[in-house]
Amino acid sequence: MTMANRQLKFHILRYNPRDIASVPRMQTYEIEEADGMTLFIALNEIRERQDPSLQFDFVCRAGICGSCAMMINGRPTLACRTVTKNLGLETTLAPLPVFELIGDLSVNTGKWMRQMSERLETWVHEKAGAVDISRIEAPMDAGLAEQIYELDRCIECGCCVAGCGTARMRADFVGAVGLNKIARFRLDPRDTRTDADYYELIGDDNGVFGCMSLLACHDVCPKNLPLSTQIAYMRRHMAATGWKQEKP
């Protein structure tokens, strides 16, 4: 005898900050679970069949773009990578904290990420000079390229920022995503910046010294990036750089 599919309840925080009549409230939706259903599929079914006003974000549906990050039972996670069979019969959903709320489960991570990237200048800083388009690109050691690629896998989903205690207290904290980017460019042999340059960017409480080492960023990263390792690595180098600068 075939067992009936489970009936799932989703308690979703609803709020539209651009509607003066809107007030934060929890709204419950019930759907029948399907084989292989992800939370992303469940939310689409709710929007298509029950409530077209429900706001949430998605693009790739495969854990690549990071758009569908949200708080799932209090934990920042990607909806597209959350299989409903691993959830209970009732699930609570809320938008990521820290970021500007667009509406319901949709937040503006892009605005925060752009401001952080501009502040930390997260691009390769090469020596100034005339561009030679005929120049052959210098080869990079394969092992070093692999290390850079490992840190470059960040999808800027915002989960690490949403799970960060310091980010809740310091609006200007660059977060694990920002510190990871600095670690990436510090490895890049094409970047001419020194540790003294990086110290000016992250050598304070809004940078690497603001991290409380709670490791939530490491725990919730959907790409399993070595965030705690990189933060500890950068803190050690920035501390050494600051000590050298303060010596008489």
CATH number at residue 119: 1.10.1060.10
Distance CA 240, CA 231 (A): 14
174 and 204 housed in the same domain: yes
- pLDDT of 136 reads 83
pLDDT band of 205, cuts 50, 70, 90: very high
Q: Please tell me the pTM assigned to this model.
A: 0.90
Q: Assess if residue 130 is contained within a domain.
A: no
What average pLDDT does range 97-101 have in this prediction? 97
Distance CA 88, CA 148 (A): 39
pLDDT band of 3, cuts 50, 70, 90: low
DSSP assignment string, the chain = -PPPPPEEEEEEEE--TT-TT---EEEEEEEE--TT-BHHHHHHHHHHHT-TT-----SSSSSSS-TTEEEETTEEEEGGG-BGGGS-SEEEEE--SSSEEEETTEEEHHHHHHHHHHHHT-S--PPPS---TTSPPPP--HHHHHHHHHHHT----SHHHHT-HHHHH-TT--HHHHHHHHHHHHH-TT----HHHHHHHHSSTTTGGG-----HHHHH-TT---HHHHHHHHHHHHHHHHHHHH--
61 and 47 housed in the same domain: yes
175 and 187 housed in the same domain: yes
Examine the pLDDT at 91 and tell me if it is beyond 50: yes
What average pLDDT does range 206-212 have in this prediction? 95
Reported as a single tens digit per residue, the pLDDT across 173-192 is 999 999 999 999 999 999 99
99 and 201 housed in the same domain: no
Reported as a single tens digit per residue, the pLDDT across 218-242 is 999 999 999 999 999 999 999 999 9
Residues 122/201, Cβ–Cβ less than 8 Å: no
What are 166's two structure tokens? 């310091």
- pLDDT of 138 reads 81
Q: Assess if residue 132 is contained within a domain.
A: no
**Average pLDDT of the chain to the nearest whole number:** 93
Distances (CA, A) of 25 to 15, 75, 221: 7, 19, 28
- pLDDT of 27 reads 97
Range of the domain at 26: 7-106
What average pLDDT does range 160-164 have in this prediction? 97
- pLDDT of 247 reads 62
156 and 241 housed in the same domain: yes
- pLDDT of 156 reads 96
155 and 226 housed in the same domain: yes
169 and 205 housed in the same domain: yes
- pLDDT of 248 reads 59
CATH number at residue 25: 3.10.20.30
Q: Assess if residue 53 is contained within a domain.
A: yes
- pLDDT of 2 reads 53
16 and 64 housed in the same domain: yes
Indicate the number of domains in the chain.
2
Q: Assess if residue 133 is contained within a domain.
A: no
25 and 54 housed in the same domain: yes
Considering 106, 133, 163, which residue would you say is the last residue of a domain?
106
117 and 228 housed in the same domain: yes
Q: 85 or 135, which is more confident?
A: 85
Reported as a single tens digit per residue, the pLDDT across 27-61 is 999 999 999 999 999 999 999 999 999 999 999 98
Q: Assess if residue 2 is contained within a domain.
A: no
What average pLDDT does range 98-113 have in this prediction? 97
- pLDDT of 1 reads 43
176 and 159 housed in the same domain: yes
Q: Assess if residue 94 is contained within a domain.
A: yes
What average pLDDT does range 104-109 have in this prediction? 98
27 and 82 housed in the same domain: yes
Percent of the chain topping pLDDT 90: 88
Considering 106, 132, 162, which residue would you say is the last residue of a domain?
106
